Amino acid sequence: MAQAHASDAFLVGRTTFEQMRSFWPQQLNDTTGVTDHLNRVAKYVVSTTVEDPGWEGTTILRGPLEADVRALKSAEGSDIVVTGSIQLCHALTDAGLVDEYRLFTYPHVEGRGRRLFQNRTTVPPLHLTQVREFRSGLVLTRYRTHIA
């Protein structure tokens, strides 16, 4: 939850947004703090088809993506977090708009799925800034795409 509290906005694609919207706003007795966080932060959904977000505090970004995200990054505030939304992650990486990757590695191997970096040529230079292990076996690694 500390990672979430370091942000005041999250950015997602339509599919991830619809999944989150169908679950989180209905959670009334959430003791994890996730619901409170999601209700507090600014939510941005990248979509050309969503008409009414149906979740307070949500703005629809219709594009162009690079201009919309650059405007968000230049506005006052703290971190903007992308959750899920692999196609959006690919587009942001390709446009050079990602400042930091926070990767949570779970001690479970699926053996399938989509890759964060589509191929070796799309991997930006990464600088490891943090490794943190949790009691559950989960590991957080943080990488900056440039040294500040």
This prediction has a pTM of: 0.82
Question: Which domains are present in the chain?
Answer: 1-98 (3.40.430.10), 99-148 (no CATH)
Between CA 30 and CA 123 the distance in angstroms is 37
- The C-alpha atoms of residue 14 and residue 35 are separated, in whole angstroms, by 19
Is residue 69 packed enough to be buried (19+ CB in 10 Å), middle (13-18) or exposed (0-12)?
buried
CA 129/CA 10 separation, integer angstroms: 22
pLDDT digit of tens for each residue in the chain (148 aa)?
A: 555 567 889 999 999 999 999 999 889 899 988 899 998 999 999 999 999 999 999 999 999 999 999 999 999 888 999 988 999 999 999 899 999 988 888 877 777 777 777 766 667 889 999 999 999 888 999 999 976 5
pLDDT reported for residue 7: 82
> So what's the pLDDT on residue 139?
92
Provide the pLDDT for residue 32.
87
Query: What pLDDT is stored for residue 4 in this prediction?
Result: 59
Secondary structure (DSSP) of 95-136: TT---EEEEEE-S---S-S--SSSSGGGPPP-EEEEEEE-TT
What are the backbone dihedrals phi and psi of residue 20, each rounded to the nearest 5 degrees, phi first?
Answer: -65, -45
